[in-house]
């Protein structure tokens, strides 16, 4: 299908010993779906004392959607990595189970107050999983060979910046909780920054593949560090600086941190120069100090991080409740539905991991961390096996995004680092994030399919196809 057919080589179609491992994927998917369904049933049982009918609807929809996506992968990317899809599905299902559990807590609270129960976030989330799976299928269908993405380098860069700018368009933008990150079209709200990270990674990868040699080799010495020429670094620096400025204007620090890390990480991987790490580290310190000096909410976050219990009833309430949650969960957790994760404000978004920590304990949260680690390892492994530099860089970029996001979120809720608002990939409630992550997963599957696809069998006309008819 997309195997490189080069003149002079003959490809024998359909014959190879390379296992596709789709059966393994299906088995893991069924297992993971079973565990996810068990989580949803137990959560409902624990939180409401009965299995509410909604649970069965969510279980059925997620089963159908995941099976459908598996069949699409079977058809469009038969050699793709068998682990990535089940791992992402596991994280997503655990997230849905926890969101459903928080729904029930909210419904009970509404009942106690005599108000109408809020709409179900879990049902929304599983519908967004369906949307994400359809988007992933479309990506697999349209992008038959990831190298075609390279054709539109600057268009991707421009698209990324436009997406970042969209919330600032008057009439379209929407400000929620002090951050101007959303756009509203009819009844739908969307966070375009999530899609921007997907698109900007394509731009970075595509641009760096073109220029990495010049970036790595042609350098001026400045202060003992080799610095590349302006014309090599210029375009990417412009896109990056504009992206950071936009995010500073929108006070979206989490995405800024992620994009900066992505930029430095990809430059390092593309050029193999350690000086980028040094430079990136220095710029992080400078940027951090600058953000601290300029933005009031950053100062609040840092103060809360250093001494949360001094602000336990105000700015530190969320993180303090999160820490209490982890403590209450202890080693084995309180059990599904038997903790109080609803006490953490926005537990279904930024703090879903502390809800997991409370109800599943250290043992359960480590399982979640392992699932993230496996997903990132698979992405890096795909980059390693990739036959083209663009595919390798693209996949590395997505691995960096996932890794950074998980680190920033998990570090934030456990008070390892100051808390910055980012979603937990695949787990947090929120359609934009889920959609973007499933698109990323589709691209990972596409590159890994390309990397694991067996080489075309070479038949050289002179020795393989020439038969000796008669010997004189």
**7 belongs to the binding site for other proteins (CB under 8 A):** yes
In terms of CB distance, is 253 or 266 closer to other proteins?
266
Q: Is residue 143 involved in binding other proteins (CB under 8 A)? A: no
Cα-flanking dihedrals φ and ψ of residue 409, to 5°?
A: -70, -50
Site for other proteins in 62-81 (CB under 8 A): 81
Out of 377, 380, 407, 417, which residue is the one contacting other proteins (CB under 8 A)?
A: 377
Q: Helix, strand or coil for residue 333?
A: coil
**Does 332 help bind other proteins (rule: CB under 8 A)?**
yes
The site for other proteins, by CB under 8 A, has a size of 57
Q: Give 21's contacts (C-beta < 8 A, 6+ positions apart).
A: 82
9 near other proteins, rule: CB under 8 A: yes
How many CB atoms within 10 Å of residue 465? Answer: 9
Q: Which stretch binds other proteins (CB under 8 A): 83-91, 108-116, 148-156, 393-401?
A: 83-91
Q: Is 12 in the site for other proteins (CB under 8 A)?
A: no
187 contacts other proteins (rule: CB under 8 A): no
User: Is residue 135 a contact partner of residue 128, using CB atoms and an 8 Å limit?
Assistant: no
Axis crossing angle, helix 352-385 with helix 431-452, rounded to the nearest 10? 30
Closest distance to other proteins from the beta carbon of 334 (Å): 8
**DSSP at 14:** T
- Give me the least distance between CB of 456 and other proteins, in Å please: 7
| CA 258 to centroid of chain Cα atoms | 11
Cα separation, 183 vs 186, whole angstroms: 10
Q: Note whether 410 binds other proteins by CB under 8 A.
A: no
Q: What are phi and psi of 379, to 5 degrees?
A: -65, -45
Report d(CA 164, CA 181) in Å as an integer.
8
Q: How far is the CB of 140 from other proteins (least distance, A)?
A: 21
Cα separations (Å) of 394 from 243, 390, 426?
19, 6, 19
Query: What CA–CA distance (Å, rounded) separates 273 from 217?
Result: 10
Nearer to other proteins, 32 or 320 (CB): 32
Q: At what angle do helices 84-113 and 53-76 cross, to 10 degrees?
A: 160
Asked if 299 is part of the footprint of other proteins (rule: CB under 8 A), the reply reads no
Residue 210 in contact with other proteins, rule: CB under 8 A: no
Residues 38-57 that bind other proteins (CB under 8 A): 38-39, 42, 45-46
What are the residues binding other proteins (CB under 8 A)?
A: 4, 6-9, 17-18, 21, 24, 28, 31-32, 34-35, 38-39, 42, 45-46, 81-83, 86-87, 90, 213-214, 216-218, 332-336, 338, 360-361, 363-364, 367, 370-371, 374, 377-378, 381, 385, 387-389, 454-458, 460
């Amino acid at each position: 299908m997309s195997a490189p057919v080069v003149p002079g080589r003959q490809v024998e179609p359909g014959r190879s010993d390379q296992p596709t491992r789709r059966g393994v994927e299906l088995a893991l998917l069924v297992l993971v779906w079973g565990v996810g369904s068990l989580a949803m049933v137990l959560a409902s049982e624990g939180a409401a004392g009965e299995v509410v009918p909604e649970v069965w609807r969510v279980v059925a929809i997620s089963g159908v959607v995941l099976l459908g996506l598996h069949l699409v992968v079977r058809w469009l990317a038969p050699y793709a990595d068998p682990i990535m899809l089940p791992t992402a599905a596991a994280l997503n299902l655990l997230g849905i189970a926890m969101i459903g559990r928080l729904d029930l807590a909210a419904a009970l609270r509404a009942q106690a107050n005599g108000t109408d129960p809020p709409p179900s976030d879990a049902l929304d989330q599983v519908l967004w999983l369906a949307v994400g799976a359809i988007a992933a299928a479309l990506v697999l269908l349209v992008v038959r060979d990831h190298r075609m993405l390279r054709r539109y380098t600057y268009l991707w860069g421009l698209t990324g910046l436009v997406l970042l700018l969209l919330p600032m368009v008057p009439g379209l933008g929407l400000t929620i909780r002090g951050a101007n990150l959303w756009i509203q079209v009819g009844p739908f709200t969307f966070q375009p920054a999530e899609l921007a990270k997907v698109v900007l990674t394509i731009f970075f990868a595509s641009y760096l593949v073109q220029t990495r040699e010049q970036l790595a080799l042609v350098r001026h010495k400045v202060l003992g560090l080799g610095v590349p020429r302006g014309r090599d670094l210029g375009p990417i620096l412009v896109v990056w600086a504009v992206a950071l400025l936009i995010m500073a204007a929108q006070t979206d620090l989490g995405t800024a941190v992620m994009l900066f890390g992505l930029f430095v990480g990809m430059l390092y991987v593309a050029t193999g120069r350690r000086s980028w790490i040094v430079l990136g580290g220095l710029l992080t310190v400078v940027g951090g100090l600058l953000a601290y000096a300029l933005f009031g909410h950053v100062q609040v976050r840092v103060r809360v991080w250093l001494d949360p219990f001094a602000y336990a009833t105000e700015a530190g309430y969320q993180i303090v409740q999160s820490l209490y949650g982890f403590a209450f969960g202890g080693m084995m957790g309180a059990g599904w539905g038997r903790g109080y994760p609803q006490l953490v404000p926005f537990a279904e978004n930024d703090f879903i991991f502390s809800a997991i920590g409370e109800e599943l304990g250290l043992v359960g949260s480590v399982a979640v961390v392992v699932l993230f680690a496996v997903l990132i390892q698979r992405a890096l492994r795909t980059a390693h096996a990739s036959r083209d530099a663009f595919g390798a860089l693209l996949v590395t970029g997505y691995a960096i995004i996932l890794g950074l996001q998980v680190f920033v979120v998990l570090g934030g809720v456990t008070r390892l680092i100051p808390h910055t608002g980012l979603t937990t990939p695949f787990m947090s409630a929120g359609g934009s994030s889920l959609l973007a992550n499933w698109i990323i997963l589709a691209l990972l599957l596409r590159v890994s399919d390309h990397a694991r696809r067996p080489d075309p069998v070479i038949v050289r006309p002179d020795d393989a196809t020439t038969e000796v008819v008669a010997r004189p």
